[in-house]
Amino acid sequence: MFSVAPCTSTATRQAKRLARRAEELVQRTLTGVGARQSESRIATDAQAYWRKPAGDRWLANSHWRDASVFRDNDLWSRIGREHLELFERGAKMAGFTRPWNRIVDWGCGGGANAVAFAPHAREYVGVDISADTLRECEREVAATCDTPFTPVSIDVEAPEAALARIGEPCDVFLSFYVFELIPTPEYGERLLRIASRLLAPGGLALIQIKYDTGSWWTRPRRRGYRSGLAEMTTYPIAAFWELASRCGLTPAAVQLVPRNELDKHYAYFFLSKA
């Protein structure tokens, strides 16, 4: 008896890829002819998407350890280890030598980065939209080290409310796999100003974005959040550098990762606070 499961599986994956590509084409075409959705509408859709766990795709996007993409491999653990190594290299370039007493992780997800960074801190502040994700991150940190974890829940439309809840300044501000998910590039300025206000003088931020290559396919999508959340917001590299400067952060270095196991067109910015 012959099995047709492998061929069927391959055909299914190809069909899904074609469907996603077609959806992306439709949404970008609509944006190109001026049918953008408002930032408020996209923020509402984003809030609804992230608020509650909803299947394996959601778990993968939130970087929970038990998502299928992280099973039978060490990818989940490597995310944090590689980002920690990247931060340590960037800290040397930026002349950052102060202790990491307080770390703020904006968009902490299920803890892939927290488990690597928290052991180096006296307090770890995790910021996220989902209360379930904050609990998952706290559980992962507690299983790794004794560093106190402070969860801070936010609403997409009011990220500035986190300032009062976080309170004291931080030495390190981290944000991985977040800026590509925010409603618009303009919204990113609000997050950069939050980072600038939270960082103590001499502090260092490491913020990852997706960069716009100049191709039609890599421009900000600006509509259809659920079907294209990871393509929602991008920036030209120079434009993000200049935006960070206007928000009170001094760019020290940027590292580009054209492609890795998760996605492509990543840029990591090291931003210091004078």
Residue 14: in which H helix or E strand, if any? helix 5-32
Q: Is 170 helix (H, G, I), strand (E, B) or coil?
A: strand
Q: Is 197 within 8 Å of 170 (Cβ atoms)? A: no
Q: Are strands 264-272 and 199-210 parallel, antiparallel or unpaired?
A: antiparallel
Residues of the chain with pLDDT under 70: 1-9, 13
| pLDDT score of 33 | 86
Tell me the chain's radius of gyration from C-alpha atoms: 19
Q: What is the pLDDT of residue 8?
A: 56
pLDDT for the residue 3: 42
Give the residue carrying structure tokens 């099973």.
Answer: 71
DSSP H or E stretch at residue 264: strand 264-272
The whole-number pLDDT of residue 9 equals 67
CA dihedral over 106, 265, 25, 75, signed as positive or negative? negative
> Whole-model pTM?
0.93
Alpha-carbon span 252 to 194, nearest angstrom: 19
d(CA 138, CA 115): 9
What gap in Å lies between CA 94 and CA 96, rounded to an integer? 5
Q: Identify which of 99, 106, 108, 102 has the alpha carbon closest to the alpha carbon of residue 141.
A: 108
Contact 182, 232 (CB under 8 A): yes
Q: What is the pLDDT of residue 4?
A: 45
> Tens digits of per-residue pLDDT, 160-212?
999 999 999 999 999 999 999 999 999 999 999 999 999 999 999 999 999 99
